[in-house]
A and B are shown apart, each in its own frame.
Chain A
Amino acid sequence: MGGNRLQFRDPARAAAMAEMLEHLVQEIGRDSVSVMHVCGSHEQAIARFGLRAIFPRKLEVIMGPGCPVCVTDMPEVDEAVALAEAGVRIATYGDMLRVPGTARSLADAQAAGAKIDVVYSVAQAAQLAANLDEELVFFASGFETTAVATAALLLSAPPANFSILSAHKYIPPVMEIVAEMPQTRVEGFLAAGHAATITGCAIFERFVERHGIPVVVAGFEPLDILAGLAKLLELIRDRRAEVANMYPRCVRREGNRRAQEVLWKVFRPVGGRWRGIAHVPNGNLRLRDEWSRFDARRRFKIDVSRLWDYAPPSLAQSCICGDIMAGIASPSACPLFSKECVPDNPVGACMVSSEGTCRIWHQYGGQLDLRQS
Chain B
Amino acid sequence: MSASRIAADAKVMLKHGAGGRAMRELIQQVFVGDAKAPADGGIGLAAMDDGAALRVGDEWLVMTTDSYVVKPPFFPGGDIGRLAVSGTVNDLSMMGATEIAALTCAVIIEEGFPRADLERIKASISAACAEAGTAIVTGDTKVMGRGEIDGIVLNTAGVAFTRRVVPDCGLRLGDQIIVTGTIGDHGLAVMALRHSLELEGELFSDVAPLNGLIRRALEAGGDGVVAMKDPTRGGLASALHEMAEKSRVGIVLQASRIPVNPGVQATGELLGIDPMHAANEGKAVLGVRPDAAASVLAALRSHPLGRQAEIVGSCVAQRPGFVILDTGFGLRLLAEPEGELLPRIC
| Interface residues, chain A, with chain B CB atoms under 8 Å away | 11, 14-15, 47-54, 93-95, 120, 146, 222, 339-340, 342-345, 354, 362-365, 368-370, 373
Query: By the criterion CB–CB under 8 Å, are A368 and B332 in contact?
Result: yes
Residue B115 at the chain A interface, CB threshold 8 Å: no
The stretch among B79-87, B177-185, B333-341 that forms the contact with chain A is: B333-341
B111 to chain A, nearest CB (A): 30
Query: By the criterion CB–CB under 8 Å, are A368 and B333 in contact?
Result: yes
Residue B14 at the chain A interface, CB threshold 8 Å: no
A-B contact pairs, 27 of them (CB 8 A): A11-B256, A11-B327, A11-B329, A15-B329, A48-B327, A49-B330, A50-B326, A50-B327, A50-B329, A50-B330, A51-B330, A53-B330, A53-B331, A53-B332, A94-B342, A94-B345, A95-B345, A340-B1, A342-B1, A344-B15, A362-B335, A364-B332, A365-B324, A368-B333, A369-B331, A370-B318, A373-B319
Closest to A362 in B: B335
Residue B29 at the chain A interface, CB threshold 8 Å: no
CA distance A339 to B1 in the complex (A): 6
CA distance A342 to B322 in the complex (A): 17
Query: Which chain B residues lie closer than 8 Å to A47 at the CB level?
Result: 332
Q: Knowing that A50-B331, A94-B342, A344-B338 touch, tell me 16 more A-B residue pairs with CB under 8 angstroms.
A: A11-B328, A48-B332, A50-B327, A52-B330, A52-B332, A53-B332, A54-B329, A146-B346, A340-B1, A354-B344, A363-B333, A364-B333, A368-B324, A368-B333, A370-B324, A373-B318
Query: Which chain A residues lie closer than 8 Å to B328 at the CB level?
Result: 11, 14
CA distance A144 to B249 in the complex (A): 46
CA distance A208 to B180 in the complex (A): 54
Query: Which chain A residues lie closer than 8 Å to B1 at the CB level?
Result: 339-340, 342, 345
Closest to B274 in A: A48
Closest to B256 in A: A11
Question: For chain B, what secondary structure do more than half of its interface residues adopt (helix, strand, loop), or is it mixed?
Answer: loop
Interface 0/1 of B303-327, CB less than 8 Å to A: 0000000000000101100101111
A364 to chain B, nearest CB (A): 5
B238-269: which residues lie under 8 A (CB-CB) from chain A?
256
Query: Which chain A residues lie closer than 8 Å to B335 at the CB level?
Result: 362-365
Query: By the criterion CB–CB under 8 Å, are B331 and A368 in contact?
Result: yes
Of all A-B residue pairs in the complex, the 3 with the closest CB atoms, nearest first, are A50-B330, A365-B333, A53-B330
CA distance A53 to B327 in the complex (A): 11
CA distance A48 to B344 in the complex (A): 15
Residue B5 at the chain A interface, CB threshold 8 Å: yes
B45-86: which residues lie under 8 A (CB-CB) from chain A?
none
Query: Which chain B residues lie closer than 8 Å to A51 at the CB level?
Result: 329-330
Closest to B2 in A: A340
Query: Which chain A residues lie closer than 8 Å to B326 at the CB level?
Result: 50
CA distance A373 to B318 in the complex (A): 6
Query: By the criterion CB–CB under 8 Å, are B338 and A54 in contact?
Result: no
CA distance A21 to B320 in the complex (A): 31
A8 to chain B, nearest CB (A): 11
Query: By the criterion CB–CB under 8 Å, are A93 and B345 in contact?
Result: yes
CA distance A363 to B338 in the complex (A): 9
Closest to A225 in B: B329
CA distance A222 to B327 in the complex (A): 11
Residue B23 at the chain A interface, CB threshold 8 Å: no
CA distance A11 to B328 in the complex (A): 5
Query: Which chain B residues lie closer than 8 Å to A344 at the CB level?
Result: 15, 22, 338-339
Closest to B335 in A: A363
Query: By the criterion CB–CB under 8 Å, are B329 and A365 in contact?
Result: no
Looking at B1, B9, B331, which has the most chain A CB atoms within 10 Å of its CB? B331
Which of A49, A146, A362, A373 has a CB less than 8 Å from the CB of B329?
A: A49
Query: Which chain A residues lie closer than 8 Å to B325 at the CB level?
Result: 50
CA distance A340 to B3 in the complex (A): 11
CA distance A94 to B345 in the complex (A): 8
Query: Which chain B residues lie closer than 8 Å to A95 at the CB level?
Result: 345
Query: Which chain B residues lie closer than 8 Å to A369 at the CB level?
Result: 331
Closest to B338 in A: A343
Query: Which chain A residues lie closer than 8 Å to B344 at the CB level?
Result: 354
Given contacts A49-B327, A49-B330, contact A370 B319 (CB under 8 A): yes
Query: Which chain A residues lie closer than 8 Å to B322 at the CB level?
Result: 365
CA distance A90 to B156 in the complex (A): 44
Query: Which chain B residues lie closer than 8 Å to A222 at the CB level?
Result: 329
B260 to chain A, nearest CB (A): 14
CA distance A4 to B163 in the complex (A): 55
CA distance A49 to B332 in the complex (A): 7
Closest to B319 in A: A373
Query: By the criterion CB–CB under 8 Å, are A54 and B5 in contact?
Result: no
CA distance A363 to B339 in the complex (A): 13
A223 to chain B, nearest CB (A): 9
Query: Which chain B residues lie closer than 8 Å to A365 at the CB level?
Result: 322, 324, 332-333, 335
Query: Which chain B residues lie closer than 8 Å to A373 at the CB level?
Result: 318-319
Query: Which chain A residues lie closer than 8 Å to B316 at the CB level?
Result: 370
B274 to chain A, nearest CB (A): 9
Closest to A342 in B: B1
CA distance A262 to B70 in the complex (A): 45
Query: Which chain B residues lie closer than 8 Å to A362 at the CB level?
Result: 335
CA distance A308 to B5 in the complex (A): 24
CA distance A49 to B316 in the complex (A): 21
Closest to A369 in B: B331
CA distance A369 to B316 in the complex (A): 14
Which of B15, B331, B346 has a CB less than 8 Å from the CB of A370?
A: B331
Looking at A343, A344, A345, A369, which has the most chain B CB atoms within 10 Å of its CB? A344
A226 to chain B, nearest CB (A): 9
Looking at B329, B330, B338, which has the most chain A CB atoms within 10 Å of its CB? B329
A17 to chain B, nearest CB (A): 10
Query: By the criterion CB–CB under 8 Å, are B330 and A54 in contact?
Result: yes
A257 to chain B, nearest CB (A): 23
Query: By the criterion CB–CB under 8 Å, are A120 and B329 in contact?
Result: no
Looking at A120, A340, A365, which has the most chain B CB atoms within 10 Å of its CB? A365
